[in-house]
């Protein structure tokens, strides 16, 4: 069964902070935007935030890209958000839904959105958070609400009912897009589509796995057996067969 990914309504954003990867994926017609975060930046060895952002912006050619504030107090977040927003018209500023003390950032989101800053409210997990964010967003300003469906699933909860409810909450904010964040597998792309999420973020490795979407399972089975055989041979593994066992088998 072949699956034509181009028929899906959901947009795939590449999630990562490796500048070389961003440059490579920028030309992939499947990728419609990009997201980053400080954890990914640290993992990728980013040393200079502004230099990294400048290179990424040059690579994505106007596609939306999100950069996150680094501060933990709201006034510093505001200053950083205004600076980041100035990096480009396609920039969305990631604002965590709370600070590390658990204090809501909704007040800051309201100020930034009203001022025309395109925010990507991140680390959202609950319907209460989505409701509060939705009410804070200016109807005329583009925004993204990133709900961490993958991490919700890690707790043993099915994220699909929650994501459907999130989409309904955001119905009154037509310029606000619902993002299925932290997917764990290719299946999540189709689940996100079913929930009418607007965007899903996927890592480089997850994007590479999209080539298996709809793959024939008999063929997949044979390829898996082939992999096991090839790797065992390459490793030089051997099983010493005892004489008695060989005799028993012959009888």
Rounded Cα distance between 199 and 178, Å, is 6
Q: What's the pLDDT band for 14 if we cut at 50, 70, 90?
A: very high
pLDDT per position as a tens digit, 114-145: 999 999 999 999 999 999 999 999 999 999 99
Is a pLDDT exceeding 90 seen at residue 17? yes
Same domain, 84 and 195: yes
Q: How far is CA 9 from CA 4, 55, 68, 227, 247, in A?
A: 11, 29, 26, 35, 62
pLDDT per position as a tens digit, 51-105: 999 999 999 999 999 999 999 999 999 999 999 999 999 999 999 999 999 999 9
* pLDDT value of position 248: 64
* pLDDT value of position 119: 98
In degrees and rounded to multiples of 5, residue 104 shows phi and psi of -65, 140
Same domain, 226 and 178: no
Q: How far is CA 150 from CA 8, 154, 217, in A?
A: 20, 6, 25
User: Can you read off the two tokens belonging to residue 135?
Assistant: 């009410």
Rounded Cα distance between 23 and 175, Å, is 28
State the residue range of the domain holding 244: 217-250
* pLDDT value of position 250: 62
User: Can you read off the two tokens belonging to residue 41?
Assistant: 């930046």
Cβ neighbors of 113 (< 8 A, separation 6 or more) are 119, 136, 137, 138, 141, 143
This model's pTM is above 0.85: yes
Q: For the chain, where are the E strands, in sequence order?
A: 11-15, 31-35, 65-68, 91-96, 119-124, 143-147, 176-180, 199-202
Same domain, 68 and 14: yes
**208 class by beta-carbon count within 10 Å (0-12 exposed, 13-18 middle, 19+ buried):** exposed
Catalytic residues: 94
Same domain, 13 and 47: yes
* b/e map 32-65, b = 16+ CB within 10 Å: ebbbbbeebbeebebeebeebbebbbebbeebbb
Average the pLDDT over 235-239 and give the result.
Answer: 97
* pLDDT value of position 6: 78
Same domain, 136 and 175: yes
* pLDDT value of position 3: 74
Q: Is 117 helix (H, G, I), strand (E, B) or coil?
A: coil
* pLDDT value of position 88: 97
* pLDDT value of position 249: 61
* pLDDT value of position 136: 98
pLDDT per position as a tens digit, 170-226: 999 999 999 999 999 999 999 999 999 999 999 999 999 998 999 999 999 999 999
- CATH code at position 196: 3.20.20.70
* pLDDT value of position 7: 85
Is a pLDDT exceeding 80 seen at residue 163? yes
Q: What's the pLDDT band for 45 if we cut at 50, 70, 90?
A: very high
Same domain, 197 and 82: yes
* pLDDT value of position 49: 97
* pLDDT value of position 5: 83
Same domain, 44 and 122: yes
Domain count, the chain: 2
Same domain, 226 and 130: no
Same domain, 43 and 94: yes
Closest by alpha carbon to 23, among 63, 60, 67, 51?
60
Q: How far is CA 245 from CA 227, 237, 239, 240, 242, in A?
A: 27, 19, 12, 10, 5
Rounded Cα distance between 126 and 155, Å, is 13
Same domain, 189 and 231: no
Q: What's the pLDDT band for 247 if we cut at 50, 70, 90?
A: low
Same domain, 239 and 126: no
**30 class by beta-carbon count within 10 Å (0-12 exposed, 13-18 middle, 19+ buried):** middle
Same domain, 122 and 238: no
**Checking DSSP bridges between strand 143-147 and strand 65-68, what pairing results, if any?**
unpaired
């Amino acid at each position: 069964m072949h699956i034509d990914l181009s028929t899906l309504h959901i947009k795939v954003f590449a999630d990562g902070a490796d500048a070389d990867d961003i440059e490579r994926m920028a030309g992939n017609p499947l990728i419609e935007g990009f997201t980053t975060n400080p954890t990914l930046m640290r993992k990728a060895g980013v040393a200079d935030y502004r230099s990294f952002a400048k290179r990424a912006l040059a690579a994505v050619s106007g596609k939306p890209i999100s950069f996150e504030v680094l501060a933990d107090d709201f006034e510093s977040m505001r200053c950083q958000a205004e600076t980041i927003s100035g990096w480009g018209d396609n920039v969305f500023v990631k604002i965590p839904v709370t600070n590390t003390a658990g204090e809501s950032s909704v007040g800051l989101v309201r100020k930034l959105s009203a001022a025309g800053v395109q925010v990507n409210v991140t680390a959202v997990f609950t319907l209460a958070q989505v409701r509060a964010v939705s009410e804070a967003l200016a109807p005329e300003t583009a925004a993204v609400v990133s709900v961490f469906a993958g991490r919700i699933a890690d707790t043993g909860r099915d994220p699909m009912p929650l994501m459907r409810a999130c989409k309904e909450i955001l119905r009154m904010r037509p310029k606000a897009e619902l993002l299925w964040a932290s997917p764990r597998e290719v299946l999540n792309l189709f689940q996100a589509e079913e929930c009418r999420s607007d965007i899903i973020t996927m890592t480089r490795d997850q994007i590479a796995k999209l080539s298996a979407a709809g793959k024939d399972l008999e063929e997949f089975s044979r390829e898996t057996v082939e992999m096991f055989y090839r790797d065992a041979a390459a490793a030089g593994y051997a099983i010493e067969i005892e004489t008695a066992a060989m005799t028993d088998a012959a009888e």
